[in-house]
Amino acid sequence: MTVEISGEQVPDPRAWLAVAGAIFGTFMALLDVSVTNASLPQIQGEIGATGTEGTWIGTGYLVSEIVMIPLTAWFSRLFGLRNFLILASIFFTLFSVMCGFSGNLTEMIVGRVGQGFFGGALIPASLTIIATRLTPAQRPAGLAIYASVATLAPVIGPILGGWLTENVSWHWLFLMNLPIAVILLFMLYLGIERASPDWDELGRADWFGIAGLAMFLSGLTVILEEGQRENWFDSTLITRLTIMATVGFILVLVTQFTSTRPVVKLRLLAKSNYRAVVGIMILFGAGSFTLLYVIPVFLGIIAGYDAEQTGFIATYTGLSTFLMMPVLMVLMQKVDVRWIVGSGMILFGAGCLLNLGLTPDSVGHDFILAQLINGMGQPMVGLPLSQAATAGLDEDEIPDGTALFSMARNLGGSLGLAMTGILIDRRSAFHTAQLEQVTTANSGTGQERIAQIAGSMIHGGADTNHATLQALRAIAGEVQRQALVMSYIDGFWIMGIGIILAVPAVLFLQKPSGSAAAVAH
């Protein structure tokens, strides 16, 4: 709600409290996406899960979150925004507590699915409240805070998770949400006006669209997450999920033409500006989620870092982003948004390409410069796109637009992680075969290396046969390690070049008009 004084809109003092509460909820939800990444081995060990089963700790959260995000606008109309966000926060906290006290894999997965579903409601709500509660002159500040949170939360997650796991207990990865939720509920209750539920929405609901959307998004996410491990269509599960996702997508398409209020308004993509925003966000989500996955895995497997050490390296991205935000706010007042987003994409791609010099001896400090550059590039893409996502939309389209925008980032992340998994597996096998050709026991290089290792062991007292066998095993292990590093380099190369080649897409972004420029003050 705003009031008008001397022709100028002045926001209701409660508006900033509403924005703060919504962004605080977004931080909590996004933090929980990645807080378990560095701690999965410890969690899996205590709840009796294998490595493959343990991946569902992350997948369960992501699947349910991505289903909820586009449903947020409808639930907000049904229950009223304040009622819905308060209910979502309460249930998110209850499921967090369930995760914290989980004693087996089933309890953990149920808790993570519940967390993701209700946490997904908090993410698009932030953009909706910023766009509808703040005056045009104040939206950039709100968007800057939102973009900082959206960028920093996934970075802080592994850092905080690693520290808690190493120094306290992994249980507190989830139990820490309890005191946070108390503050969040206070902000939401005081900051958002009460609105009565509109139960007529149940009769007007696009039920076929809701069912189709749930089938499509949940099926697609699991296919992308598990397809490589399940050997794709050799798996009955993946085949059935593909059929389910296809049927769901068809239902969503049909309801675009048969429902007066479809659950997700794909017709928004008819607007070139919005289509460009969503396309860039999918690509950006793929890159940022992949970096959050690849670098910790590299440091853990290749460099032998523990959870806390891995998390510490991520602080450089967060530091760079934090320092970049005030500079970016000035740039947005003076520079065309297309130049800012394009420059951010180039910086992000360049940061990826800086990792092409990695070797099996690379450690954390070898990633610092790339992390700093990526930390500069990410907000240059994320913040202007957050603003552009609502540009040109009518007020009643904003909730649907922000939901689709938020969904694009998560879909991009799922796609990026799936493609990275496929790339690493296949390129690792390719490089292993290439290296084995030049390091066979009959090659000059292979014989020389075997003699070096075996000679050292014989000098230490081992017999010749045992020393030779151990030398062969050591070389095989080194070949696998070298091949894995080379596959990571391939991934960084494709990611960097792909993002840079996509820069021309910024030309389709809407050039700020006079009214849009006012938003940047």
pLDDT digits (tens, 9 = 90+) for 63-101: 788 888 888 878 888 888 889 989 999 999 999 999 999
Confidence check: pLDDT of 246 > 90 = yes
Q: What is the pLDDT of residue 91?
A: 94
- Interval 4-32 mean pLDDT: 72
Question: Which of 183, 188, 200 shows the shortest CA–CA distance to 81?
Answer: 188
Confidence check: pLDDT of 157 > 70 = yes
Band (519; pLDDT cuts 50, 70, 90): very low
Confidence check: pLDDT of 337 > 50 = yes
Half-sphere exposure for 433 (CA within 13 Å, toward CB): 5
Listed range (14-23, 294-303, 344-353, 512-521) with the worst mean pLDDT: 512-521
- Interval 122-145 mean pLDDT: 78
Band (240; pLDDT cuts 50, 70, 90): very high
pLDDT digits (tens, 9 = 90+) for 468-497: 566 556 666 677 778 888 888 998 999 899
Q: What is the pLDDT of residue 357?
A: 87
Give me the DSSP letters along 311-361.
HHHHHHHHHHHHHHHHHHHHHHHHS-HHHHHHHHHHHHHHHHHGGGG--TT
Q: What is the pLDDT of residue 92?
A: 92
Q: What is the pLDDT of residue 243?
A: 94
Confidence check: pLDDT of 515 > 60 = no
* 397 or 439: which leads in pLDDT: 397
Q: CA angle at residue 266 from 261 to 270, to 5 degrees? A: 120
pLDDT digits (tens, 9 = 90+) for 191-228: 888 888 888 888 888 888 888 988 988 888 788 777 77
The partner residues of 2 in beta bridges, in order of sequence, read 11
Q: What is the pLDDT of residue 314?
A: 74
Q: What is the pLDDT of residue 5?
A: 39
Fold of 11-201: Growth Hormone; Chain: A; (1.20.1250)
Q: At the top level of CATH, which class does the domain 267-521 belong to?
A: mainly alpha
Q: What is the pLDDT of residue 477?
A: 64
| Alpha-carbon span 158 to 236, nearest angstrom | 34
Q: What is the pLDDT of residue 350?
A: 93
Q: What is the pLDDT of residue 17?
A: 85
Band (55; pLDDT cuts 50, 70, 90): low
Q: What is the pLDDT of residue 448?
A: 56
Band (348; pLDDT cuts 50, 70, 90): very high
* Proportion of the chain above pLDDT 70, given as a percent: 85
- Interval 378-402 mean pLDDT: 79
Q: What is the pLDDT of residue 38?
A: 65
Highest mean pLDDT among 36-45, 251-260, 403-412: 251-260
Q: What is the pLDDT of residue 469?
A: 60
- Interval 128-141 mean pLDDT: 78
Query: Residue 360: which residues within 8 A CB-CB, separation 6 or more?
Result: 302, 478, 481, 482, 485
Q: What is the pLDDT of residue 6?
A: 40
- Interval 397-415 mean pLDDT: 79
Confidence check: pLDDT of 7 > 50 = no
Give me the DSSP letters along 429-441.
HHHHHHHHHHSST
Confidence check: pLDDT of 367 > 70 = yes
Confidence check: pLDDT of 318 > 80 = no
Q: What is the mean pLDDT of the chain?
A: 79
Contact of 150 with 122, CB cutoff 8 Å: no
* 346 or 336: which leads in pLDDT: 346
Q: What is the pLDDT of residue 373?
A: 92
Q: What is the pLDDT of residue 439?
A: 59
| Alpha-carbon span 282 to 291, nearest angstrom | 14
Q: What is the pLDDT of residue 518?
A: 31
Q: What is the pLDDT of residue 275?
A: 86
Confidence check: pLDDT of 346 > 90 = yes
- Interval 155-174 mean pLDDT: 80
- Report the Cα 114 to chain-centroid distance in Å: 18
* 110 or 466: which leads in pLDDT: 110
Q: What is the pLDDT of residue 517?
A: 34
- Interval 373-385 mean pLDDT: 87
- Phi and psi at residue 508, to the nearest 5°: -85, -10
Furthest-apart CA pair in the chain: how many Å? 94
